[in-house]
Amino acid sequence: MTDDSQLDDARLAAETASAAGELLLTVRAIEGDALTGRELGRRGDRAADTYILERLAAARPGDAVLSEESADDPSRVEADRVWIIDPLDGSKEYGMPSHVDWAVHVALWEAGKGLTAGAVAQPAIGVVHSTGDVPPPPPVSRRRPRIVISGSRPPSFVFDLAGELGADLIRMGSAGAKAMAVVRGEADAYIHAGGQWEWDSAAPVAVARAAGLHCSRIDGSELEYNRPHPYLPDLVICRAEWAPEVMAALARHAVGPGDSPRVAMARAYIRSLVSHDASHVRLAADAWRVENGERTGDSGVEIRDRLEHGPEYRPIRRIRDLQFHEWHHSVVARFVLDIATVPGGGKPASEMSVAVTEHFDIPAGEIRSIVAVIEPHPQNS
């Protein structure tokens, strides 16, 4: 039996990510027929998160942890060592039997040093890349660069950028899968904008840096981890020989400010009103919500469940005229909801609109409370 106390950090990261990946394969094999794609992803996420937390607690009991699937402890910001983990990166792809583009991320951040160890496991293809043994990417002879991008939400500017570079675009799930494609030389760059979290990129960046790749924000600035708000919206991982050209093209095409961390959290909540998927909504365990003076949620679990299954959200068809205002810990969102009305008397369904104001209290990395005011919209009259 392996003695965790004798493992160096890179080896611990690799063994932990690998074992969590094997667990995910087992969950997928046993429960894949019984659970829907989303529920299978959540089942796998919870199982892998529990395993990784227990393994790290046994091996490094004094270290802090930042995990996508666990409540955020603000005291981690003052810790000397913080493990940043994503138990299942690409849960959507994991829930689709034909997909192999999902991963497990385990990374270590140290005060004054940044990312010092990490591993990305891709269980479906039997591969684990670690900072302890990753080689430089092999040389390639292709003349057109290959850029991997999100399969579901690619940056709007990336198509013009690809045209300028003469690049081929490859859509793929999971940040880890995309980053490791560059590490292995299957692609030349991975570009993302529009929203990510520290756990999405920490392990991939640690491994990519160990392989000698360029890693930065899309504006060329440093990627910083273990911040009070773990929102890290954009990322570039690129072969060193392509970096000057890619970064110069990004400077011309990737313009405009992105969301702040708090606005990003509020936006994720508002998107879920239509998508009925609250997987990316960060809610504190004791979060609460009030709507027009009535309590509509007493915990993060209850609010998330109502977003996904509550009948009051099913008729929502679209969100428009969305505006955000932010100060201190507060974000106020104002928008219009178009809602389908129930048909009656042989008449087809129609729509009505309501004006919504939602006040979010976000003191740290999770939404603590939501106060909503819903009013008739003038266009209804």
* E strand or H helix at 191: strand 189-192
Q: What is the pLDDT of residue 98?
A: 84
CATH number of 4-130: 3.30.540.10
Region 9-34: mean pLDDT is 94
| Tokens read off for 110 | 């140290």
Q: Please compute the mean of the pLDDT values over residues 141-165 and round it to a whole number.
A: 88
pLDDT of residue 250: 93
Among 3-7, 190-194, 354-358, where is mean pLDDT lowest? 3-7
Across residues 8-34, what is the average pLDDT?
94
Residue 225 has pLDDT above 60, yes or no: yes
Each domain of the chain, given as residue ranges in start order, spans 4-130, 146-253, 261-380
Torsion angle of C-alpha atoms 302, 282, 363, 197, degrees rounded to 10 = 170
What is the overall mean pLDDT for the chain? 91
pLDDT by residue (tens digit) across 254-268? Answer: 876 678 889 999 999
Please compute the mean of the pLDDT values over residues 209-227 and round it to a whole number. Answer: 95
Residue 219, both tokens: 């504006």
pLDDT in tens, 114-152: 999 999 999 999 999 999 999 998 888 788 999 999 887
Q: In a 3-state reduction of DSSP, which class is residue 28? A: helix
Confidence of residue 346 (pLDDT cuts 50, 70, 90): low
2 confidence band (pLDDT: 50, 70, 90): very low
| The pLDDT value given to residue 4 | 60
Tens digits of per-residue pLDDT, 82-118?
999 999 999 889 988 888 999 999 999 999 999 999 9
Provide the whole-model pTM. Answer: 0.85
pLDDT of residue 194: 78
**Distance from C-alpha of 145 to C-alpha of 199, rounded to nearest angstrom:** 27
From CA 298, how far away is CA 287, in angstroms rounded? 6
pLDDT of res. 34: 83
pLDDT digits (tens, 9 = 90+) for 23-43: 999 999 998 788 878 889 999
Quote the distance between the C-alpha of residue 105 and its chain's center: 12
- The rounded distance, in Å, linking the Cα atoms of 94 and 102 is 6
Fold for domain 146-253?
Answer: D-Maltodextrin-Binding Protein; domain 2 (3.40.190)
Q: Which of 124-128, 282-286, 338-342 has the highest mean pLDDT?
A: 124-128
* Contact (Cβ atoms closer than 8 angstroms) between residue 137 and residue 162: no
- Proportion of the chain above pLDDT 70, given as a percent: 95
From residue 379, alpha-carbon distances to 160, 336, 351, 354 in Å are 38, 11, 11, 9
For 380, the 3-state DSSP assignment is helix
Q: Which CATH topology does 261-380 take?
A: Nuclear Transport Factor 2; Chain: A, (3.10.450)
For position 344, what pLDDT does the model report?
55
Q: What are the tokens at 28?
A: 């997928």
Report DSSP letters for 285-334, one per residue.
Answer: EEEEEEETTEEEESSHHHHHHHHHH-TTTTTEEEEEEEEEEEETTEEEEE
Kindly report the number of other CB atoms within 10 A of residue 118's CB atom.
32
**Cα-atom radius of gyration of the chain, to the nearest Å?**
22
Confidence of residue 347 (pLDDT cuts 50, 70, 90): low
How sure is the predictor about 370, in pLDDT bands with cuts at 50, 70 and 90? Answer: very high
Give the pLDDT of residue 245: 93
Q: Which of 7 and 161 is assigned the larger pLDDT?
A: 161
pLDDT at 258: 73
More confident residue, 225 or 260: 225
Tell me: the pLDDT tens digits for 35-82? 878 889 999 999 999 999 999 999 999 999 999 988 888 899 999 999
Percent of the chain at pLDDT exceeding 90: 72
Check residue 140 and give its pLDDT: 83
